[in-house]
Structure 1
Amino acid sequence: MKYRYLGNSNLKVSAVGLGTWAYGNDTFGKVEDQQSIKAIRAAVEAGITLIDTAPAYGAGHAEKVVGRAIEGIRDKVVIATKCGTHRDGSKYVRDLSPKRIRKEMEASLTRLNVEQIDLYQIHWPDPDTPLEESVEELLKLKKEGKFKYLGVCNFGIELIEDISEMTDIISLQPQYSLLKRDVEAEILPYLVENNFGSLSYGTLGGGILSGKYQERPEFEDEKDNRAGFYPFFREENWPQTRSLISLLEEIATAHNQSPAQVAINWAINRAGITTALVGAKTEKQARENAEASDFDLTKAEMDALAAESDNVIKNLNY
């Protein structure tokens, strides 16, 4: 496993991180909690140190699962969670009001069973709450020792600059993969120039880049709503993805790796990416994800994947 410092902080994190959206048990299909706990512990045993979660994942359920999984190994992991987005039934509600932030912080600490969160992140911007009010409350929580470092998710450069004038942040969490590369144009260069770290999510495009789907999947499980978030599964987009997946399979065979490992390796070796977050429903997936940092793609392979990715993205319907 490769390890890197997150931005200008002293948080040293694994190049492959563990994303826990699936453990909420309401978006990526049904997952047994005990299986999720085993996957988390397998990830840590394989060298993954960064675990990213959020109250919005299963209305706090993912945080509870993470809390149970890290009992006895808290000192081996960097815990990242979020505020500002919560569930109201099937809806995701953005609320960065001071009252809501404090309520979510206390709930997260309880569910995770930790005294302090390593990286606390604003999940999504909230257009209805002045950012100054949110930051003021966050600074109070930091002073109280509730979290070490502050980060943001899904922010553009303007918002990053705005919050940076109010307080220090160390990282951004954007969506990034071979199928979603818009942040390369301005945001990733900005992060590099200003020494911000990044935790990219959606590394496998909801699983489509794993190569396990030879035909477009129909997610019949009522708890599997990933196709609503990732447009790559739409019928009109499915044919375009096949050439990219075929190339992943070809390169994977050459390295005796899986297509998922190639997609992860590509992401963690792109400029501006500190850690690529990847979900794992099983112990086997967790170990394979961790091993994705243990080989090197050639420059020709990196370039070929980028070129094919460009061709596919141009024809995707978002």
Structure 2
Amino acid sequence: MQYRKIAGTDLEVSAVGLGTWAYGNDTFGRVDDQKSIQAIKAAVFSGINLIDTAPAYGDGHAEKIVGQAIKGIRDQVIIASKCGTYRDGPKYIRDLSPQRIRKDLELSLSRLEIDQVDIYQIHWPDPDTALEESVEELQKLKEEGKFKYLGVCNFDLNLMEKIASLTDIISLQPQYSLLKRDIKKEILPYLVENKLAALSYGTLGGGILSGKYKKRPDFSGEKENRDSFYPFFKAENWDLVQKLIELIEDIAAANSKTAAQVAINWAINRAGITTALVGAKNKKQAAENAGAADFNLSEKEMQLLTDKSDQIITKLNLE
């Protein structure tokens, strides 16, 4: 495993991190809680030390699972959680009011069974709350010792510049993969220039870049609606995406690796990316994801993937 220092902190995070959205058991199909706990422990055993979660994942369920899994190994992991997005049935509600932020953090600490969150992140912007009000409350909570460092997720360049004028942040969590690279134009250069970490998510595009889907899946079942967030599964995008997956699988075969490992390795070796967050539903997937940091694609392979990615993205319907 490779580890990368986040500037201005005492944190060294693994190049591959563990995303826990699936453990909420309401978006990526049915998951078994015990297998989720085993996957988290296997990820840590394999060298992954960054675990990213959020109250919105299963209305707090993912945080509870993480809390159970890290008992006895808290000192081996860096916990990142979030505020400002909560569940109202199937709806995701954005609320960065001071009262909601405090409630979110206190509930997160209780579910995770920890005293302090290492990286606390604004999950999504809230257009109905002044950012200044949110930041003021976050600063109070930091001074109270309830979290160590502040980060943000899904912020554009204007919001990044605004929050940087209000307080210190250490990271941005954007979506980034071979199928979604819009942050390369403005956001990544800004992060590099300002020495901020990029904790990217969606590394496998909801699992499609793993190559495990040999035909377009039906996500109409209970607790399975990943295609509503990842448009790569749409009928009009399916054949295009398969052309990229064919190249990934050819490169994987040449390196005796899996398609998922190739897609992850490409991401963690892109300029500006600190950590690529990847989900794992079981021990095997967790170990496989961690292994993506144990080899290096050649410059030629990296360029082939980047060029094919450029070709495919320009044709995708991402609405």
For the aligned pair, the TM-score class normalised by the smaller chain equals over 0.9
- Give how far 1:73 is off: 0.1
1:45 aligns with 2:41: no
Distance 1:192 1:56 in 2: 29
Q: CA deviation at 1:117?
A: 0.3
> Counterparts of 1:66 and 1:2 in 2: how far apart (Å)?
23
Contact kept? 1:7, 1:198, Cα under 8 Å: no
Question: Normalized against structure 2, the TM-score is what?
Answer: 0.99
Structure-2 separation of matches of 1:179 and 1:100? 34
- Letter paired with 2:116: Q
* Superposition map of 1:136-155 within 5 A: 136-155=136-155
What's 1:198 paired with?
198
Would the aligned equivalents of 1:14 and 1:49 in 2 still touch at CA under 8 Å?
yes
- For 1:196, the aligned partner's letter is L
- How far apart, CA to CA, are the structure 2 residues paired with 1:314 and 1:214? 23
Alignment partner, residue 13 of structure 2: 13
The equivalent of 1:257 in structure 2 is 257
Q: Could you tell me how far 1:7 is from its partner in structure 2?
A: 3.4
Q: Secondary structure in 2 aligned to 1:165?
A: helix
Residue 123 of structure 1 contacts residue 153 of structure 1 at CA under 8 Å; is this kept in 2?
Answer: yes
Unmatched runs of 5 consecutive residues or more in structure 2: none
Give, in angstroms, the shift of residue 166 of structure 1. 1.1
Paired with 1:234 and 1:141, the residues of 2 have a C-alpha distance of 42
Offset at residue 222 of structure 1 (A): 1.4
2:129 aligns to what SS in structure 1?
Answer: coil
Stretches of 4+ aligned residues off by more than 6 angstroms: none
Amino acid at match of 1:194: N
| 1:135 correspondence with 2:135 | yes
Aligned residue number for residue 272 of structure 1: 272
Q: C-alpha separation between the residues in 1 aligned to 2:314 and 2:166? A: 38
Q: Counterpart of 1:191 in structure 2: which amino acid?
A: L
Letter in 2 for 1:287: A
User: Which AA in structure 2 matches 1:284?
Assistant: K
Distance 1:253 1:21 in 2: 29
Percent identity over the alignment is: 69
Q: What 5-or-longer segments of structure 1 have no aligned partner?
A: none
Are residues 1:106 and 2:116 paired? no
Secondary structure at the aligned position of 2:293 is classed as coil
Aligned mates of 1:6, 1:34 — CA distance in 2: 32
Instruction: Give the Å deviation of 1:6.
Output: 2.0
Match of 1:65 in 2: 65
Structure 1 residue 284: deviation in Å?
0.2
TM-score relative to the length of structure 1: 0.99
2 CA distance for matches of 1:208 and 1:6?
29
Deviation at 1:133, TM superposition (A): 0.4
> SS at the partner of 1:41?
helix
Q: Please report the RMSD computed on the Cα atoms of aligned residues, expressed in angstroms.
A: 0.6
What is the CA distance between 1:165 and its match in structure 2? 1.1
